[in-house]
């Protein structure tokens, strides 16, 4: 699971995390930025916020049954698609060797869903694009970043499946999360610094999950764009 910020994955895919963990999958989170800008509290300092958000993400991941959370620590709100960022993501991919990666859809710049219009955070897009580049072809090719192989002994790895969190609701693959929906809610509410109104957050999650579930005949679901990489 790759997110630009702590809580990104828990909004968009934590039901799937809980579902897969319950079924025996080994789940890792990779959080790209330090989350140091996401607060309206005039008394909050960036250094404190970084520690708070990391602790919240670890608590959320543990609630869902994930094994580990990895942090790259890039500055929040300043993320760019660079070769060093791609290399850092390749390193984690080669260490963990995932068969599936979930990340946001980098093509979603803005959207209108019902009465709600949004501009996608540039960190979301940058983290997602760098992750897709890392997946294909960088993590796969032996001669790319040769020092990862010769100095860090990280063999190339081919990711087989990618699920994109598409905020416009353009989905072609669904995961039934009905029996883990309460776990999703509990995990998201661990992000206390980001959720001032838990009741509204829960209502939003119910709306999203119900809309996706209606596409599959289940009460609650999460939808993705699925890529099977050949």
Q: What is the pLDDT of residues 194-213, one digit of tens each?
A: 999 999 999 999 999 999 99
Q: How far is CA 129 from CA 14, 144, 209, 228, in A?
A: 21, 18, 25, 17
Residue 113 is predicted with a pLDDT of: 80
Note down the domain range covering 13: 2-228
Strand order in the sheet with 28-33: 2-3, 28-33, 68-74
Taking the alpha carbons of 185, 191, 192, 194 in that order, is the dihedral positive or negative?
A: negative
Share of the chain above pLDDT 70, in %: 100
pLDDT-based confidence at residue 131 (cuts at 50, 70, 90)? very high
What average pLDDT does range 4-24 have in this prediction?
Answer: 98
The answer to whether the peptide bond before residue 47 is cis (omega within 30 degrees of 0) is no
Q: Beta strand 2-3 with 28-33: parallel, antiparallel or unpaired?
A: parallel
Residue 106 is predicted with a pLDDT of: 98
Whether the pLDDT of residue 230 is over 90: the answer is no
Give me Rg for the CA atoms of the chain: 17
The closest alpha carbon to 1, from 217, 187, 201, 141, belongs to 187
Are the C-beta atoms of residues 191 and 14 closer than 8 Å to each other?
no
Give the integer Cα–Cα distance in Å for 132 and 144: 15
What average pLDDT does range 111-119 have in this prediction?
Answer: 88
Any idea what the CATH number is for the domain that residue 199 is in?
3.40.50.10320
Whether the pLDDT of residue 215 is over 80: the answer is yes
The answer, as to whether pTM is greater than 0.75, is yes
Total count of residues recorded for the chain: 230
pLDDT-based confidence at residue 115 (cuts at 50, 70, 90)? confident
How many structural domains compose the chain?
Answer: 1
Whether the pLDDT of residue 114 is over 80: the answer is no
Are the C-beta atoms of residues 134 and 93 closer than 8 Å to each other?
yes
pLDDT tens digits for range 48-90: 999 999 999 999 999 999 999 999 999 999 999 999 999 999 9
Q: How far is CA 185 from CA 164, 180, 190, in A?
A: 21, 9, 9
152 Cβ contact list (under 8 Å, min separation 6): 91
Share of the chain above pLDDT 90, in %: 98
Residue 204 is predicted with a pLDDT of: 93
pLDDT-based confidence at residue 116 (cuts at 50, 70, 90)? confident
């Amino acid at each position: 699971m790759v997110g630009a910020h702590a809580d990104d994955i828990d909004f968009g895919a934590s039901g799937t995390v809980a579902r897969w963990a319950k079924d025996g999958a080994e789940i890792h989170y990779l959080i790209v930025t330090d989350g140091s800008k996401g607060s309206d509290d005039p008394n909050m300092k960036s250094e404190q916020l970084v520690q708070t958000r990391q602790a919240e993400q670890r608590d959320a991941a543990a609630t869902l049954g994930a094994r580990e959370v990895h942090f790259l620590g890039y500055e929040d709100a300043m993320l760019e698609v660079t070769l060093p960022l791609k290399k850092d993501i390749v390193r984690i991919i080669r260490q963990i060797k995932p068969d599936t990666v979930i990340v946001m859809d980098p093509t979603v710049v803005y959207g209108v869903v019902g009465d709600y219009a949004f501009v996608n955070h540039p960190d979301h897009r940058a983290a997602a694009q760098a992750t897709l580049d890392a997946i294909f072809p960088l993590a796969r090719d032996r001669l790319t970043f040769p020092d990862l192989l010769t100095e860090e002994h990280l063999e190339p790895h081919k990711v087989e499946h990618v699920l994109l969190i598409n905020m416009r609701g353009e989905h072609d693959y669904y995961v039934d999360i009905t029996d883990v929906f309460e776990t999703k809610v509990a995990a998201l509410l661990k992000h206390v610094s980001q959720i001032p109104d838990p009741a509204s957050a829960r209502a939003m999650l119910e709306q999203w999950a119900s809309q996706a579930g209606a596409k599959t005949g289940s009460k609650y679901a999460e939808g993705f764009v699925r890529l099977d990489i050949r």
